[in-house]
Amino acid sequence: MIITLNPLAGKVEVEQICQQLKNLELEAATLPHRPDISLMIYGVITENKLEIIRRLPKVVRTEKIQMPYHRASKQLHPEASVIQVGNVKVGGGNFAMIGGPCSIENSMQLEETAEYVKASGSNMLRGGAFKPRTSPYSFQGMGKQGLDLLHKVGKKLDMPIVSEVMSIDQIELFGDVDMFQVGARNMQNFDLLKELGKTNKPVLLKRGLSATIQEWLMSAEYIMSEGNENVILCERGIRTFETYTRNTADLSAIAAIKKLSHLPIVIDPSHAAGKRDMIESLALAAVAAGADGLIIETHPHPEEAISDGEQSLYPDQYAALTEKVWKLHQFMKTL
Amino acid sequence: MIITLNPLAGKVEVEQICQQLKNLELEAATLPHRPDISLMIYGVITENKLEIIRRLPKVVRTEKIQMPYHRASKQLHPEASVIQVGNVKVGGGNFAMIGGPCSIENSMQLEETAEYVKASGSNMLRGGAFKPRTSPYSFQGMGKQGLDLLHKVGKKLDMPIVSEVMSIDQIELFGDVDMFQVGARNMQNFDLLKELGKTNKPVLLKRGLSATIQEWLMSAEYIMSEGNENVILCERGIRTFETYTRNTADLSAIAAIKKLSHLPIVIDPSHAAGKRDMIESLALAAVAAGADGLIIETHPHPEEAISDGEQSLYPDQYAALTEKVWKLHQFMKTL
Amino acid sequence: MIITLNPLAGKVEVEQICQQLKNLELEAATLPHRPDISLMIYGVITENKLEIIRRLPKVVRTEKIQMPYHRASKQLHPEASVIQVGNVKVGGGNFAMIGGPCSIENSMQLEETAEYVKASGSNMLRGGAFKPRTSPYSFQGMGKQGLDLLHKVGKKLDMPIVSEVMSIDQIELFGDVDMFQVGARNMQNFDLLKELGKTNKPVLLKRGLSATIQEWLMSAEYIMSEGNENVILCERGIRTFETYTRNTADLSAIAAIKKLSHLPIVIDPSHAAGKRDMIESLALAAVAAGADGLIIETHPHPEEAISDGEQSLYPDQYAALTEKVWKLHQFMKTL
Amino acid sequence: MIITLNPLAGKVEVEQICQQLKNLELEAATLPHRPDISLMIYGVITENKLEIIRRLPKVVRTEKIQMPYHRASKQLHPEASVIQVGNVKVGGGNFAMIGGPCSIENSMQLEETAEYVKASGSNMLRGGAFKPRTSPYSFQGMGKQGLDLLHKVGKKLDMPIVSEVMSIDQIELFGDVDMFQVGARNMQNFDLLKELGKTNKPVLLKRGLSATIQEWLMSAEYIMSEGNENVILCERGIRTFETYTRNTADLSAIAAIKKLSHLPIVIDPSHAAGKRDMIESLALAAVAAGADGLIIETHPHPEEAISDGEQSLYPDQYAALTEKVWKLHQFMKTL
């Protein structure tokens, strides 16, 4: 339950109320993200206790917590969060244009990609070093060496970098990475989420292939409940009966998240569509729908890519799309 | 199979080729929507016959038909179709903004709605007279009387009208209606589709709840194969595991249809989301993705609507959205 | 609402109660399928009226109607229905083993199939004369001529026959057919359902590809609300993300239907799996789960079948399966 | 590629062939699970090399590897695997009846449950000590203490025990556990799978909520490719649009796995249905379909269970079901 106090209540009065709640065997914590003076109450609140609480001095309102996620919920944090990733802000009107290859393959490929990604006006660099592949016999990524390359290139071009972490023991290798990515397959790897929650580095949390909006927010809550509130949600297509596309982009997730949560949401049209020539349409749709960013795969030579070549944009396609994205993002602010 | 002839081939030469094909027990028909001189060949084409065909004078190319739908396919009709609905063009850069109530309830409700729909800048009016309801005990629509009201109001405001037809015996009641709508539940009611194909009135063909893109185009083909090429596709959300929304809007269908077909595609965000406050985000996304129109439910008093009240926009919401839609549609042409 | 009367209430007393309800502007109808004396009440029941009803003489209990389907519900009809199809009973412990080809192709094919289907111990014959095909260019069935063949063969072998009806205007052609089949694509063709409800011939109602259990029962209700209570439900696989099978057999539908409804349920493993070598496993599973019947495709020469050859059993497979099915059905009664 | 040798080939000849393959820059390994003498060939096999291989002495046949999973495939291991879990065999006609509570709550609850599970004729005990809960605020399990209780009770009753492992760092705590369980949410936690592959303890691998059959077998391959071939697959319901059941039991997975793989498959009707009164129907269906075992949740007082109470069987229900399961399992061998 949440109780809201008279805006004139002073620090001493708030402390008195907390003490009175303690006498009722209830814990209370202030809610820093609410514009009013509010307390969240933990413990079993009986009818009798509720009656007492309502009559406490300075208490003007009590309300139920509507959602099973608290920290991810808009109720406890009405304003949109702005997450700082390196020198880039995401959310609250700040847009992230994240580009890069699916897998980091070698130094030349990464540098070449990063340069045109930067030149096109993107503000963040992605690249996979640890790859969750369906087959144990497929390329599993360059590992730590890939992260080092990514760091070097990101630093040179002054772009924050994001890369996928697959297990707890990899966390310590991500010291130079600006944002962890949790992949769709690990969205409910709760032990991993808890460990990431003990860091203070931003986490890009992809939605699971068949995760409901609520389950996705509950997974964000796993990270946030450990103290790390720097979570960015990423929709990357859900699994449906349709086989023409790799997955089905659920762009209604944008409006849903904006209504339920204060966390930014980024769209990944590359994995959603799985087809290069559908990316632009989906990316622009995401911007118009109100997304806080895009994460898009590109490769200097998609036909030679080790993974996901058929969904990677050619350099000129990527540049053209980025230009449109920024123009549309600016235009949407005028509507 | 399709064969393309030398652009200099004259009428007589084309006829000669058709005769030679006939001698091979093959039928041929010219393809009016291709920019080149092309013939479509029907019949079993053996290796030997193919060899002969390739050596016929004026034949410059043979190509396989790639898709099981022919008339709906871009291969036989490379340019985007423009469908004329009353005085409104849809497709090929022409945008349809279709608004109105889910069900026609009475004269006053319909007139009031139609007036603000028109005033907001919409160019087509929707209204259900025959309602496919899950329960036999729910309101089944005003029937013919509803169609008459719709016609009267549409005529007064000079707006073409669209309404759902549910069975073959209703077709004759739609004389004054400018466009048939086939609902999601009837997308594979093949006998109905064939009968609509025998008219020359436009058909707004909604995608079935769990129809693949290909099945949807095959249903368009059922209409077109009977001679009626005036088909407009309408995506209205597919059925997935997600329960937060009524259905899941599949906006990637826009890019898919643009790639596979020449038919226009309109988006119905009302049924897709099922929640009023998600409509705007999805509608703008659809415009940015390249949709040829929108069909949106609105009601003067949604809380009193007989059906679908929770997804119907309030008049001021509808007007505000329509304005944004047109501005965005114009802007997209500049990108 | 349902009210239950004292079992000693006489006819006159029931009539008096009905009159008293009428005075309250409520309609009442007796419920013939309930073991107790019960009345169903139609109309708006206010708190005040409810109070009066409860105090009426002989009224011992009032209960809410739990489900939106009434006639299909177990609440109004606690005992399992037994549906008579020709000389065969289905439901309430009576098992239907229905076999035959997907499409009726010609006299010889049908006779040959029917003979081994009969010889194997099956008690009903299936065969498609009107075929709902995804493509307008595929074989659409032999039509009336096919029905005539089916009738002739069924009569000769003394087996009731079942065949799919696709539209209202076909109904009159089914005079000699013992049971209508409504296909998955027409499960929500409500006008067709209503017309079938005006006949008294049994209807085998297939579940739509993405219909929920509740929607399926609502479609049964459409038929029953017009007076025809002879409905048999048929699960034939639902559409999911899995591509290995044609559809996903939802065998949990058996337990669900047994709990919610009194109608018999038959399983179609042929369309569910779409693969010949999976039929036996699913068919036996359905019997063990408590299904009231099976409908299975078989063909004398599956590799030459016009439609669905890959899921049609060879004659010897069909015979072997039928034997196992009957043995297992008997065994289940001993558990 | 696989090459099969003349059955009369001696050890020396096989070695010679391996040497000749090495000269072609190909690696070869014998396939111990094939009844014939077969070699699996690794490396790039050009047309020229294939020609040479076919002419090598003793080579009688070459065949492509059909599936991306090798060790899980029936092609390399035609006979059904029998997995030894403590003193119980699973697969190849040996049936596992696994019962126990969702969560281990305390010593008394576990002992009471285990005693009636054992008495009913079950041969394995399940109990969750680490619980993957959607919410971080839900009970997360008793942890190591729970495993110790499970071990104590299993030892006393002479039943092998199975419990879920959620992360790599928990593996070492499972020394006394007879079989690891990998939950649906971790089916593609590839790092965990690889680590389990380095042990030689059996792994019960649950299918992910939206995993295809092929993805599931690929996850088994992750474990097996590290050397641990003791994998038992467990179907526990997939996520579909249906909301009446918690998930949709995919019993066609039984026939599919039997066709594609040699690994045993066990069914979990508790999580599939999520409703106590549907368990029996699904459990018996699974036995009839050919499953190698069942894993079922039961609790002495389901209404007081900390988790999954609504799907836990009462003790008498569990006992009655177990008796039917064994009878049916025996009967199926006579069909």
Q: What is the pLDDT of residues A146-181, one digit of tens each?
A: 999 999 999 999 999 999 999 999 999 999 999 999
Start-to-end CA span in chain B (Å):
38
Q: In the predicted model, is pLDDT for residue D155 greater than 90? A: yes
Residue C162's SS3 state is: strand
The mean pLDDT of C62-87, rounded to a whole number, is 94
Please name which of A111, A114, A93, A236 lies closest in space to residue A164, comparing C-alpha atoms: A236
Contact call for B132 and C218, based on CB within 8 A: no
Please report which confidence band the pLDDT of residue C294 belongs to, taking 50, 70 and 90 as the band edges.
very high
CB C247 within 8 A of CB D240: no
Contact call for B243 and D239, based on CB within 8 A: no
Same domain assignment for residues B222 and B102? yes
Residue B312's SS3 state is: coil
Nearest beta carbon to residue D256 from set C244, C254, C328: C244
What are the angstrom distances between the C-alpha of B210 and each of A47, B132, C185? 47, 17, 10
DSSP characters over A62-98: EE---SS-STTBSSS--SPP-EEETTEEEBTTB-EEE
**Alpha-carbon gap, residue B201 to C240, rounded angstroms:** 35
Residue C274, both tokens? 């779409």
CB A287 within 8 A of CB A269: no
Residue A72 lies in a domain: no
To the nearest whole angstrom, how far is the Cα of C122 from the nearest Cα of chain D?
A: 18
Contact call for C168 and B166, based on CB within 8 A: no
Q: Residues A179-223: pLDDT tens digits?
A: 999 999 999 999 999 999 999 999 999 999 999 999 999 999 999
Same domain assignment for residues A22 and A151? no
Mutating which of D218, D252, D277 best tests the C interface, going by the most C Cβ atoms within 10 A? D252
Please name which of B233, B237, B296, B307 lies closest in space to residue B272, comparing C-alpha atoms: B237
Q: For residue B250, which residues of chain A lie inside 8 Å, CB to CB?
A: 240, 242, 248-249
What are the angstrom distances between the C-alpha of B175 and each of A311, B162, B169, B171, D207? 47, 12, 13, 8, 55
Residue D212, both tokens? 């295809």
CB D125 within 8 A of CB D159: yes
Q: Where are the beta strands (DSSP E) in C37-134?
A: 37-42, 59-63, 83-85, 88-90, 96-100, 124-126
To the nearest whole angstrom, how far is the Cα of C51 from the nearest Cα of chain D?
A: 34
Start-to-end CA span in chain D (Å):
38
**Alpha-carbon gap, residue C329 to C334, rounded angstroms:** 9
Strands of the sheet containing C2-5, edge to edge, are C27-30, C37-42, C2-5, C59-63
Judging by DSSP bridges, how do beta strands A265-267 and A231-235 pair with one another? parallel
CB B251 within 8 A of CB B213: no
**Alpha-carbon gap, residue B214 to B134, rounded angstroms:** 26
Chains that touch D (3 or more CB pairs under 8 A): A, B, C
**Alpha-carbon gap, residue C104 to C83, rounded angstroms:** 25
**Which residue of A lies nearest to D167 if distances are taken between CA atoms?**
A191
To the nearest whole angstrom, how far is the Cα of C257 from the nearest Cα of chain B?
A: 18
Contact call for B243 and D240, based on CB within 8 A: no
Nearest beta carbon to residue D242 from set C245, C250, C335: C250
To the nearest whole angstrom, how far is the Cα of A285 from the nearest Cα of chain B?
A: 4
**Which residue of C lies nearest to D276 if distances are taken between CA atoms?**
C255
Same domain assignment for residues D134 and D221? yes
**Which residue of D lies nearest to A184 if distances are taken between CA atoms?**
D188
Start-to-end CA span in chain A (Å):
38
Question: Residue A335, exposed/middle/buried by CB under 10 A (0-12, 13-18, 19+)?
Answer: middle
CB C267 within 8 A of CB C291: yes
Q: In the predicted model, is pLDDT for residue A132 greater than 90? A: yes
**Alpha-carbon gap, residue A125 to A123, rounded angstroms:** 7
Judging by DSSP bridges, how do beta strands B37-42 and B27-30 pair with one another? antiparallel
Please name which of C102, C78, C80, C97 lies closest in space to residue C150, comparing C-alpha atoms: C102
Q: In the predicted model, is pLDDT for residue A108 greater than 90? A: yes
| Chain C positions touching chain D (beta carbons under 8 Å) | 210, 212-214, 238, 240-245, 248-252, 254-256, 258-259, 272-273, 277-278, 280-282, 284-290, 324, 327-328, 331-332, 335
Residue B327 lies in a domain: yes
Contact call for A240 and C241, based on CB within 8 A: yes
Same domain assignment for residues B110 and B216? yes
Please report which confidence band the pLDDT of residue C256 belongs to, taking 50, 70 and 90 as the band edges.
very high
CB pairs under 8 A between A and C: 8
Mutating which of A241, A242, A244 best tests the C interface, going by the most C Cβ atoms within 10 A? A241
What are the angstrom distances between the C-alpha of C207 and each of A71, B145, C93, C217, C272? 42, 33, 22, 9, 11
Domain finish residue from D17, D34, D63: D63
**Alpha-carbon gap, residue C33 to C86, rounded angstroms:** 23
Same domain assignment for residues B277 and B138? yes
Domain finish residue from C63, C92, C107: C63
**Mean pLDDT of all residues in chain D?**
96
Same domain assignment for residues B59 and B146? no
Residues 6+ apart with CB under 8 A from A308: A102, A103, A270, A271, A297
DSSP characters over B65-101: --SS-STTBSSS--SPP-EEETTEEEBTTB-EEEEE-
Same domain assignment for residues C102 and C53? no
ipTM of the shown complex: 0.94
To the nearest whole angstrom, how far is the Cα of A125 from the nearest Cα of chain D?
A: 25
Note down pLDDT in tens along chain B; length 335 residues.
Answer: 999 999 999 889 999 999 999 999 999 988 989 988 999 998 888 989 999 999 998 999 999 888 999 999 999 999 999 999 999 999 999 999 999 999 999 999 999 999 999 999 999 999 999 999 999 999 999 999 999 999 999 999 999 999 999 999 999 999 999 999 999 999 999 999 999 999 999 999 999 999 999 999 999 999 999 999 999 999 999 999 999 999 999 999 999 999 999 999 999 999 999 999 999 999 999 999 999 999 999 999 999 999 888 999 999 999 999 999 999 999 999 99
CB B302 within 8 A of CB B277: no
Amino acid found at C80 = A
Same domain assignment for residues A46 and A92? no
Same domain assignment for residues C53 and C95? no
Same domain assignment for residues B99 and B27? no
| A37: CATH | 3.30.70
Q: How many percent of chain D have pLDDT more than 90?
A: 91
Same domain assignment for residues B9 and B90? no
To the nearest whole angstrom, how far is the Cα of A158 from the nearest Cα of chain D?
A: 32
Question: Residue D43, exposed/middle/buried by CB under 10 A (0-12, 13-18, 19+)?
Answer: middle
pLDDT at D66: 87
> What's the Rg (C-alpha) of chain D?
22
pLDDT at C66: 87
pLDDT at A35: 87
**Alpha-carbon gap, residue C235 to D244, rounded angstroms:** 15
Same domain assignment for residues C8 and C133? no
Residue B68 lies in a domain: no
**Which residue of D lies nearest to C248 if distances are taken between CA atoms?**
D250
- What does DSSP assign to residue A135? S
Question: Residue C15, exposed/middle/buried by CB under 10 A (0-12, 13-18, 19+)?
Answer: exposed
Phi, psi of C140 (to 5 degrees): -100, 10
Residue B75 lies in a domain: no
CB B283 within 8 A of CB B320: no
Residues 6+ apart with CB under 8 A from C300: C109, C112, C113, C116, C315
Domain finish residue from A63, A97, A115: A63
Q: For residue B227, which residues of chain C lie inside 8 Å, CB to CB?
A: none
Q: In the predicted model, is pLDDT for residue C42 greater than 90? A: no
To the nearest whole angstrom, how far is the Cα of C110 from the nearest Cα of chain B?
A: 25
pLDDT at A42: 87
Q: For residue D191, which residues of chain A lie inside 8 Å, CB to CB?
A: 166-167, 169
**Alpha-carbon gap, residue C143 to C45, rounded angstroms:** 50
**Alpha-carbon gap, residue D230 to D224, rounded angstroms:** 8
Phi, psi of D156 (to 5 degrees): -60, -40
CB C116 within 8 A of CB C315: yes
CB pairs under 8 A between A and B: 126
Domain count, chain A: 2
The predicted model scores a pTM of 0.94
Contact call for A286 and B281, based on CB within 8 A: no
Mutating which of C188, C206, C215 best tests the B interface, going by the most B Cβ atoms within 10 A? C188
Beta bridge partners of D200: none
The mean pLDDT of C133-152, rounded to a whole number, is 95
pLDDT at D44: 86
Residue B213's SS3 state is: helix
| B251: CATH | 3.20.20.70
Residue C228, both tokens? 């025809």
Residue D280 lies in a domain: yes
Chains that touch B (3 or more CB pairs under 8 A): A, C, D
pLDDT at C94: 98
Residue B70 lies in a domain: no
The mean pLDDT of C17-30, rounded to a whole number, is 92
Please name which of C52, C51, C53 lies closest in space to residue C40, comparing C-alpha atoms: C53
Mutating which of D191, D194, D226 best tests the A interface, going by the most A Cβ atoms within 10 A? D191
Residue B232, both tokens? 């407009």
**Alpha-carbon gap, residue D10 to A117, rounded angstroms:** 60
Residue A74 lies in a domain: no
Judging by DSSP bridges, how do beta strands A88-90 and C96-100 pair with one another? unpaired
pLDDT at C60: 93
Mutating which of B169, B189, B207, B239 best tests the C interface, going by the most C Cβ atoms within 10 A? B189
CB C210 within 8 A of CB C239: yes
Chains that touch C (3 or more CB pairs under 8 A): A, B, D
Q: For residue C240, which residues of chain D lie inside 8 Å, CB to CB?
A: 238, 240, 248, 250
Q: In the predicted model, is pLDDT for residue A271 greater than 90? A: yes
Residue C221 — left, alpha, or beta (φ > 0 → left; ψ -120 to 50 → alpha)?
alpha
Residue D55, both tokens? 């002419």
DSSP characters over D86-136: TTEEEBTTB-EEEEE-SB---HHHHHHHHHHHHHTT--EEE-BSS---SST
Residues 6+ apart with CB under 8 A from B127: B100, B101, B103, B104, B110, B113, B146, B149, B150, B161, B163
- Residue D39: domain span: 2-63
**Alpha-carbon gap, residue D327 to C331, rounded angstroms:** 10
Residue C104 lies in a domain: yes
